[in-house]
């Protein structure tokens, strides 16, 4: 029951932030929509550690702040690459280490969100990643992002 309440609160906060309209009718529609989603999630038994990874929630805001900064830096690098036309695309594999499934998804999506890199395939051994340049590939291979995701997951130090 506690997970359902937390899910309702998170979804309602997201709905309010994204809607931008705060009339009683629209807020009522939001409450009804979110309640329906939570009810369906409960019926599907989807409100578990995988569906609602509470263990990640406390450490996520700091990680998001770091990721937004990394996205900004990668945007600048990508603009420079586009203007100069100097790129050397490559595909490579990285090992992810010990992570929960939610952390693996966070890691793979973080790589893809960062301009110039894309997670192409996810396997038990790790990820297949495409990068525009060797420098971008080296950034991913440095495992700085992986260490931060493991910290969010509670598996890192």
Question: Which two three-digit tokens encode residue 49?
Answer: 């550690």
37 and 78 share one domain = no
pLDDT value for 51: 65
Residue 137 to residue 89: CA distance in whole angstroms = 9
How many domains are there within the chain? 2
Give tens-digit pLDDT for 82-137.
999 999 999 999 999 888 888 899 999 999 999 999 999 998 789 999 999 999 99
144 and 104 share one domain = yes
pLDDT value for 58: 77
Give tens-digit pLDDT for 51-77.
667 767 778 889 999 999 999 999 999
35 and 80 share one domain = no
Residue 22 to residue 43: CA distance in whole angstroms = 29
Q: Is 95 helix (H, G, I), strand (E, B) or coil?
A: strand
18 and 65 share one domain = no
Q: Is the pLDDT of residue 29 over 70?
A: yes
Q: How many CB atoms lie within 10 A of CB 19?
A: 13
What does pTM read for this prediction? 0.74
């Amino acid at each position: 029951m506690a997970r359902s309440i937390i899910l309702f609160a998170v979804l309602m906060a997201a709905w309010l932030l994204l809607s931008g309209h705060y009339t009683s009718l629209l807020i009522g529609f939001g409450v009804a929509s979110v309640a329906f989603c939570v009810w369906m999630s409960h019926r599907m038994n989807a409100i578990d550690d995988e569906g609602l990874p509470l263990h990640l929630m406390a450490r996520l805001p700091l990680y998001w702040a770091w990721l937004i900064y990394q996205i900004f830096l990668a945007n600048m690098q990508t603009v420079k690459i586009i203007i100069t036309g100097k790129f050397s695309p490559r595909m490579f594999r990285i090992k992810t280490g010990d992570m929960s499934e939610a952390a693996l998804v966070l890691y793979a999506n973080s790589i893809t969100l960062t301009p110039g890199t894309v997670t192409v395939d996810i396997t038990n051994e790790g990820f297949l990643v495409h990068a525009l340049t060797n420098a971008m590939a080296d950034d991913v291979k440095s495992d700085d992002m992986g260490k931060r995701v493991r910290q969010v997951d509670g598996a890192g130090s």
